A = this chain, B = another copy of it.
Amino acid sequence: MPVDLPTPFLCVDVDVLEANLRAMAAGAAARGLALRPHAKTHKCVRIARRQMALGAKGLTVATVREAEVFADGGLDDLFIAYPVWPSPQQTARLRALARRVALRAGVDSAESAAALGRAVPGLEVLVEVDSGHHRSGAEPGRAGEIAVAAQAAGLRVRGVFTFPGHAYGPQRQRSAQEDESTALATAAASVAAAGLDAGVVSGGSTPTAALTTAGPITEMRPGLYVFGDAQQIELGTADWSQIAMTVASTVVSRRADRVIVDAGSKILGADRQPWATGHGRLPDHPDARIVALSEHHATVTLPDGTPLPALGDTLQIVPNHACAAVNLADELIVVSGGELVDRWPVDARGANT
């Protein structure tokens, strides 16, 4: 065990993290794409600053509260990639943010644009369109009319964005990235045809990042690449050498054919896509599977004939979904060469509002 702390805890290998940050920054630069990493994955001001130092154009966040936390941390160019509904409670906070930093938000309907324009006059917005994930986002061909409504409401339209979340499936990265490009091209043309600014054409997602090229897309917003996770391993969009974060756990119980460790859903997260092979993966035991997960128990099986770990042994587990695991921890334990070198607070943990 590299670090003498009670398990379970989140362990970040700073050298792998740095390599991941550099590789994505270099890849975006080589293709002429602006990089605006999604900070919901790491929720950590220290990592955001490093992303900026390596050339990121700004940061993406999911909530007003995340924007506040990163603004407090000195990040001054923030895009809330979300169809923000300006409730009375949110309006004053958005106005204050817009005075402190370069702020941009999402809109996906004329009605929400009207409300946002009343709440935060002059706010920069991107029109969100649906590229196939069927979550929020307007039909791409309607981006122009929403942009016109936003402009009329006093917002400043700067372009369009989408999240190709349907890339999260086996062999779906290429088609989802094509959907993303097509939807964004349609949306940008629709906004331009309405005589408004479609200069920012922003796509997203770690699984599609390697496939993204400039034109129509100008900017990408990957998040998970900083740590990788078991989903990326199983999708083939990260390899083991890119896994920068694990949960350190202890074997607390053994049966004939399995061990139980003390990392459960309250540290790993319960996210499990239908195609996942289990509730996380073990880098030191690639053939092991986590076949069951409770709040404080993970049940780990190994292939027949593999010696079982002993009681008290430490096992490193890669969570299925790094964003969920980070949001369950107060701090990241930072290691280099197996030694503890730092502890970073998860500044935006629980920043849901």
A positions within 8 Å CB-CB of B: 4-9, 40, 62-65, 82-85, 87-90, 93, 108-109, 111-112, 115, 134-137, 165, 250-255, 260, 262, 265-267, 269-272, 292, 294-297, 299, 311-312, 321, 323-324, 327-330, 350, 352-353
Contacts and interface: CB of A to CB of B under 8 A. Distances in A.
Given A9-B353, A40-B295, A296-B82, A324 B266 contact: yes
A80 to B, nearest CB: 10
Contact of A271 (B82, B89, B251, B270): B270
Is the contact region of chain A dominated by helix, strand, or loop, or is it mixed? loop
Give the one of A85, A88, A272, A299 with max B CB within 10 A: A85
A7 B135 contact: no
27 contacts: A4-B88, A5-B89, A6-B64, A6-B65, A7-B87, A9-B353, A62-B295, A85-B250, A85-B251, A85-B262, A85-B311, A87-B250, A109-B311, A112-B311, A134-B255, A134-B292, A134-B299, A135-B253, A135-B292, A136-B260, A137-B253, A262-B352, A265-B269, A265-B324, A267-B352, A270-B270, A270-B321
Contacts of A109: 253-254, 311
Contacts of A266: 324, 327, 350, 352
A351 to B, nearest CB: 9
A300 B350 CA distance: 23
A108 B297 CA distance: 14
A205 to B, nearest CB: 12
Given A5-B89, A87-B250, A252-B85, A352 B111 contact: no
A321 B111 CA distance: 34
Given A112-B252, A135-B292, A265-B324, 5 more contacts: A5-B353, A109-B311, A136-B252, A296-B352, A328-B350
A168 B254 CA distance: 23
A89 B6 contact: yes
Contacts of A7: 87, 353
A108 B253 contact: yes
